[in-house]
Amino acid sequence: MERTIFTEEHHMFRRSFRQFVEKEVVPYHHQWEQDGMVPRELWLKAGEMGFLGMNVPEEYGGGGVNDFRYNAIITEELVRVGASGPGFGLHNDIVIPYILHYGTEEQKKRWLPKMVTGETITAIAMTEPNTGSDLASVRTTAIKENGHYRVNGAKTFITNGILSDFVLTVVKTDPEQRHAGVSLLAIERGMAGFERGRKLEKIGLKAQDTAELSFNDVCVPVENLLGQEGAGFFYLMEQLPQERLSIAVAAIAGATMALEVTIKYAQERTAFGRPIGKFQNSRFKFAEMKTEVTIGQVFIDRCIMELNAGKLTTEQASMAKWWSTDMQQRVMDQCLQLHGGYGYMLEYPISRAWMDARVMSIYGGTNEIMKEIIGRTMGF
């Protein structure tokens, strides 16, 4: 089914980014998986090509194009080649929008230009060792004193955790409050007491630097507070739909990629004298997967356009994130099974895609939380 949401400008952008990925990412990604991160030089090259901060206004060095379809293209093209390392989606889709929506003019001028060039790599720190989806219960504190905040606490599972220069951190400026005590604070590389812990070993996403962060009496200027003190939880709820849609885009792209490589494998691999795709069980599995992926793509494309129009709801984003990531895991598992023993070998793309996909139903809010959100909107 033809996707109708893209214009010729989007197709040109896709061709350009695909060339960038084929030249600057694909030949090196295996080594980055061994290293556990991508080099900073990749970010600089992406910035030079205009692939960072497309929605940042031109006065701050960006592309000035507020259209999530470009963000989706970047995600789709990275997923297409199994490039899990470059954290461009986190940078473009999640962190930069917080600054655009809630930052002061001074903050935008101070932070955005280098985010666009790739000189400043960003991360967002929500999850703590004892706090996952319940953001109102974070324990990292930021107590105001003498023109700065004194920050103490720890975060974990932080994407871009090692490379990041700017960490948008969820803190409690009033530890006695729950939702009303949450604020967003920018903690920057080089601040005394801000330390990176170990780079975490994961099942998948091997080239992505995921780390623990610790804050020990870190003095952060009050000028690094994003928006209003105590309004952080509201900001998170307002921006999380875009993050969840970004995950859904990656999930559909991942399922599509898995299906394509498995169809090719089933056309070439023979058993009992004929290609395995010729067996009725295989055809039925392919029919089921093709149908689910097609249905999912139509819904996600609709959500992208709803986001562009400012109409994407929390309920819709939760539906997209939950259903697409669950579907992706079903497709990945069936595709691996159709590969037989070869599917268990790391030299085959399906094995790495299967491992990379497992986290999708966990981060950005677990799928159980997504169902809870949807249920609440139904009056339960």
Backbone conformation region of residue 272, classed left if phi is above 0, alpha if psi is from -120 to 50, else beta: left
CA dihedral for 31, 35, 36, 39, sign (positive or negative): negative
> Token pair for residue 224?
């690094």
Residues 6+ apart with CB under 8 A from 110: none
Q: Are 29 and 82 in contact (CB under 8 A)?
A: yes
Residue of 33, 76, 229, 243 marked catalytic:
243
Question: Rounded distance, CA 124 to CA 164, Å?
Answer: 9
Share of the chain residues as helix, strand and coil, in percent rounded to the nearest 5: 55, 15, 30
Question: Rounded distance, CA 316 to CA 17, Å?
Answer: 29
Please give the biggest Cα pair distance in the chain. Answer: 79
CA dihedral for 80, 115, 246, 299, sign (positive or negative): negative
Of 37, 85, 75, 38, which Cα lies nearest the Cα of 54? 75
CA triplet 78, 203, 264: central angle to 5 degrees? Answer: 50
Known catalytic residue at 33: no
Provide Rg for the chain, Cα atoms: 21
Parallel, antiparallel or unpaired: strands 122-125 and 166-172: parallel
Written as one letter, the residue type at 356 is D
> Token pair for residue 41?
């030089």
For residue 256, give Cα distances in angstroms to 276, 294, 300, 335: 20, 9, 13, 11
- The catalytic residue positions are 243
